[in-house]
Amino acid sequence: MVKRLILVLGDQLSDDLSALREADKDSDLIVMAEVKDEASYVKHHPRKIALVFSAMRHFAEKLREDGWQVAYGKYDDENTSTSIVGELMRRGQEHDTTEVLATRPGEWRLIEALENAPLSVSLMPDDRFICSLDEFDDWAEGRKSLRMEYFYREMRRKTGLLMEGDEPAGGKWNFDHDNRKPASDDMLRAGPMEFTPDETTEEVLDLVEKHFPSNFGKLRPFNYAVTQGQARRALDHFAKNLLAEFGDYQDAMLRGDEYLNHSLLSQYLNLGLLSPLEICQRIEQEWKDGNAPINAVEGYIRQIIGWREYMRGIYFREGPDYVHRNALGHTRDLPAMYWGGETKMACVEHAVAQTRDLAYAHHIQRLMVTGNFALLAGLDPHQLHEWYLAVYHDAYEWVEAPNVIGMSQYADDGIIASKPYVSSGNYIDKMSDYCKDCAYSVKDKTGDNACPFNLLYWDFMVRHREKFSNNPRMAQMYSTWDRMKDDRKEAVRDGAARILDRLDKGEVV
């Protein structure tokens, strides 16, 4: 006799999930399901679907080994419902119960579906984070601006990570000043850890190949960790082999090295296979043991206890309409180049090709190449949000939306970013090796050969002058523009208009 159904979603694969802690092995039934609605609310990258399904199947197996009763609906079982709520109702009818216990999902869409379901659903807080949502609201309440840096210091104090008493280790909270070097392609790096697919994963790969043939992205070779044990090995590999230079090359971009010193752990962390604290303690240990410098370790820990926690706090604080914000009134359709269509811009071409092949691009590629171009060209932020949600293996709305709508597109009117993340081609040239093989010239500021980022940068600044001219962090750029000769200004704006016109006509840019 089953008393309650315990829902475990595809990104809730953690032993210490709040709903599991509360559940009873003898009388409760765990429900997990691969359902059409979750697999298609955006056209996810095939690797992401395969990663989620394979990790779900492995987790269900582990739960059974631990003595739980698990009702698992596979995608191609004909009885599996098309939605999470449908699946709960089906299992409820089978076992004559309407009681459901779940950990709160990471997306408003699913929270609302569960709250409105004709079932008796109890939602528990998702406490796999360092900062609870109430704690975040307490921190945010009454502040004029919600800058991540101050929130991050609170998280350092709360966790004790890199703290010496009340003071930050090394005498500074933030060592970014020592980071951000360009990389050269003659450096050998270990690369991320790869895992050979087992039988379960092979079965999932065949399923994804069959059911999602037209989704953007390459499925194979598929070499992800799909269990907690494997994810921990990936963490260990990063800590030992790549962490020490993480800070130095955090912002660098190289054609021949898509991963550089990045950890490739967000996809495991967001599924629940790793916890934020376990990662950060492992990373801190490398510093304590003298194996990694403070700039690398502090920079890394900040991304997780700072940025990641902060993004989640903002997503839930701002509410379901956040993904529809459009403070700059941008309406241009996403051009085909984002889906692998032709472009002459080597940087965009490379970032998108890498995204197609690996479901991965690192932070600076997402922010300063595809994000930067979208913002400069005035692309519709909601379409862009759906693109980012679809194409990356770590994309879940609670973390993707604040990064895209807030940090990258300034569509939330500056809640996250104190100024728009825009740059001309200079920044990309400094941090990457893209420009040397580009059809455009990064040195040209005007003319048909000029890098589109150079033209669109100034055009963006002028178009949004009213909004940004009072921002002290942008004052210098406006005075540079004002000092430019009129004929140069005209050439820049004409060049930008030609590019935007080509985008509108669907022509190659």
**Angstrom distances, CA of residue 207 to CA of 13, 210, 387:** 21, 5, 23
Interface stretch with ligand SF4, choices 191-199, 203-211, 345-353, 475-483 (CB under 6 A): 345-353
168 binds, among ligand SF4, ligand DLZ, ligand FAD, none (CB under 5 to 8 A by kind): none
Binding-site member from 126, 257, 429, 433 for ligand SF4 (CB under 6 A):
429
Distance in angstroms (rounded) separating the CA atoms of residues 197 and 50:
11
Interface stretch with ligand DLZ, choices 3-11, 308-316, 428-436, 495-503 (CB under 6 A): 3-11
Examine residue 19 and tell whether it contacts ligand DLZ (CB under 6 A).
no
By the 10 Å C-beta count (0-12 exposed, 13-18 middle, 19+ buried), 176 is classed as middle
Beta pairing, strands 163-164 & 167-168: antiparallel
Examine residue 399 and tell whether it contacts ligand FAD (CB under 6 A).
yes
The answer to whether 478 touches 461, Cβ cutoff 8 Å, is yes
Binding mask 44-63 for ligand DLZ (x = CB under 6 A): x----x--x-----------
442 binds, among ligand DLZ, ligand SF4, ligand FAD, none (CB under 5 to 8 A by kind): ligand SF4
Examine residue 35 and tell whether it contacts ligand DLZ (CB under 6 A).
yes
Helical segments of 11-147, H only: 18-22, 36-40, 46-65, 84-95, 108-115, 133-140
Examine residue 335 and tell whether it contacts ligand SF4 (CB under 6 A).
no
Q: Which two tokens stand for residue 227?
A: 């269990």
Binding mask 106-125 for ligand DLZ (x = CB under 6 A): xx--x---------------
**Angstrom distances, CA of residue 78 to CA of 36, 54, 370:** 12, 19, 40
| Cβ 30 to ligand SF4 shortest distance, Å | 49
347 binds, among ligand SF4, ligand DLZ, ligand FAD, none (CB under 5 to 8 A by kind): ligand SF4
CA dihedral of 142, 146, 147, 148, whole degrees rounded to 10:
110
Q: Report which of 416, 390, 392 is spatially closest to residue 317, judged by C-alpha positions.
A: 416
Q: Report residue 57 CA to chain centroid gap.
A: 23
10 binds, among ligand FAD, ligand SF4, ligand DLZ, none (CB under 5 to 8 A by kind): ligand DLZ
Examine residue 452 and tell whether it contacts ligand SF4 (CB under 6 A).
yes
The answer to whether 494 touches 455, Cβ cutoff 8 Å, is no
The answer to whether 384 touches 404, Cβ cutoff 8 Å, is yes
Examine residue 440 and tell whether it contacts ligand SF4 (CB under 6 A).
yes
Identify residues 453-482 at the interface with ligand SF4 (CB under 6 A).
Answer: 453
Examine residue 11 and tell whether it contacts ligand FAD (CB under 6 A).
no
Examine residue 338 and tell whether it contacts ligand SF4 (CB under 6 A).
no
Dihedral sign (CA 104, 110, 114, 116): positive
Examine residue 396 and tell whether it contacts ligand DLZ (CB under 6 A).
yes
Binding-site member from 14, 228, 403, 424 for ligand FAD (CB under 6 A):
403
428 binds, among ligand DLZ, ligand SF4, ligand FAD, none (CB under 5 to 8 A by kind): ligand SF4
Examine residue 257 and tell whether it contacts ligand FAD (CB under 6 A).
no
Examine residue 349 and tell whether it contacts ligand FAD (CB under 6 A).
no
The DSSP code for 336 is G
Helical segments of 309-422, H only: 309-318, 346-358, 363-364, 372-377, 381-391, 397-401
| Cβ 374 to ligand SF4 shortest distance, Å | 14
| Cβ 367 to ligand SF4 shortest distance, Å | 14
The answer to whether 131 touches 137, Cβ cutoff 8 Å, is no
Examine residue 10 and tell whether it contacts ligand DLZ (CB under 6 A).
yes
Interface stretch with ligand SF4, choices 128-136, 138-146, 409-417, 434-442 (CB under 6 A): 434-442
Q: Report residue 234 CA to chain centroid gap.
A: 19
Examine residue 349 and tell whether it contacts ligand DLZ (CB under 6 A).
no
Binding-site member from 29, 162, 253, 442 for ligand SF4 (CB under 6 A):
442
264-285: buried (b, 16+ CB within 10 Å) or exposed (e) per residue?
Answer: bbbbbbbbbbbbbeebbebbbe
Q: Report which of 253, 278, 232 is spatially closest to residue 362, judged by C-alpha positions.
A: 253
The answer to whether 411 touches 322, Cβ cutoff 8 Å, is no
Q: Give helix 199-211 / helix 46-65 axis angle, nearest 10°.
A: 140
110 binds, among ligand DLZ, ligand FAD, ligand SF4, none (CB under 5 to 8 A by kind): ligand DLZ
Question: How big is the chain by its Cα radius of gyration, in Å?
Answer: 24
Angle at 490 between CA 465 and CA 375, to 5 degrees: 45
Examine residue 434 and tell whether it contacts ligand SF4 (CB under 6 A).
yes
Residue indicated by tokens 């002290």: 472
**Helix, strand or coil, per DSSP, at residue 163:** strand
**Helix, strand or coil, per DSSP, at residue 204:** helix
Examine residue 105 and tell whether it contacts ligand DLZ (CB under 6 A).
yes
Identify residues 296-315 at the interface with ligand FAD (CB under 6 A).
Answer: 300, 303-304, 307-308, 311
> What is the contact surface with ligand FAD in residues (CB under 6 A)?
262-266, 269-270, 300, 303-304, 307-308, 311, 362-363, 366-367, 371, 388, 392, 394-395, 399-400, 403-404, 407-408
> What is the contact surface with ligand DLZ in residues (CB under 6 A)?
9-11, 33-35, 38-39, 44, 49, 52, 84, 105-107, 110, 396
> What is the contact surface with ligand SF4 in residues (CB under 6 A)?
345-347, 425, 428-429, 434-435, 438, 440, 442, 451-453
